[in-house]
Chain A
Amino acid sequence: NAGVTQTPKFRVLKTGQSMTLLCAQDMNHEYMYWYRQDPGMGLRLIHYSVGEGTTAKGEVPDGYNVSRLKKQNFLLGLESAAPSQTSVYFCASSYFSTGELFFGEGSRLTVL
């Protein structure tokens, strides 16, 4: 099994550009999450989804949008990138709301 796959792994954007990060999981998990990881700040939840067609805001949702049109995919969009969005983004999924999370390898985004 591939588990949780994120694409792309690296991306450099200019301020104001848009992009979409794709997360795909093959474990039939209901719950999916997008986190960002910044030095000294741990992981912060951006958006999450409790099932196909549903999304909700996490701790730091501003400047991001998400969609979960298919159960296995969770997309994270940046409509107008800003330097403050330079970070490493992790997608995760879980079967139960109280279960352990399975993480992707991360997507490193740099906004110039």
Chain B
Amino acid sequence: AQSVAQPEDQVNVAEGNPLTVKCTYSVSGNPYLFWYVQYPNRGLQFLLKYITGDNLVKGSYGFEAEFNKSQTSFHLKKPSALVSDSALYFCAVRDPRSYGGSQGNLIFGKGTKLSVKP
């Protein structure tokens, strides 16, 4: 069964430092991978996705993510964190072999709370 894991419940970073939010997945074949961000009392917003191609994907707000097939990881990164980046971050995976059926739907991780201190 496909699954996604975010091993850290919370990540604390000082403003200006680089940040990494970890995500590992388990799915047969080549996955579709996504990162979403949720600010307090808001819905989730799409940050970036990996379908195929370059392993380094650039997204919104200066975020990027690196797809590593051998380690089955898709870590979210940013070179210099901002206080305004503080939010809940979700990794999600979709098995591309199935479309429309439940197997084709996104599976979300449990989320990682990012706290950036001034």
Q: Is the interface of A mostly helix, strand, loop or mixed?
A: strand
Contact of B109 (CB < 8 Å), options: A33, A42, A59: A42
Q: Which residues of A contact B46 (CB under 8 A)?
A: 100-102
Contact of A98 (CB < 8 Å), options: B9, B36, B45, B94: B94
Our count of residue pairs bridging A and B at CB distance below 8 angstroms stands at 59
| Bound-state Cα–Cα, A98 to B51, Å | 9
Q: Which residues of B contact A48 (CB under 8 A)?
A: 102, 105
Contact of B49 (CB < 8 Å), options: A4, A100, A102: A100
A4-B43, A103-B44, A103-B45 known; A43 vs B102 contact (CB < 8 Å): no
| Bound-state Cα–Cα, A90 to B43, Å | 7
> How many Å from the CB of B22 to the closest CB on chain A?
15
Contact of B108 (CB < 8 Å), options: A40, A43, A57: A43
**Interface presence of A105 (CB below 8 A):** yes
A58-B102, A106-B43 known; A100 vs B34 contact (CB < 8 Å): yes
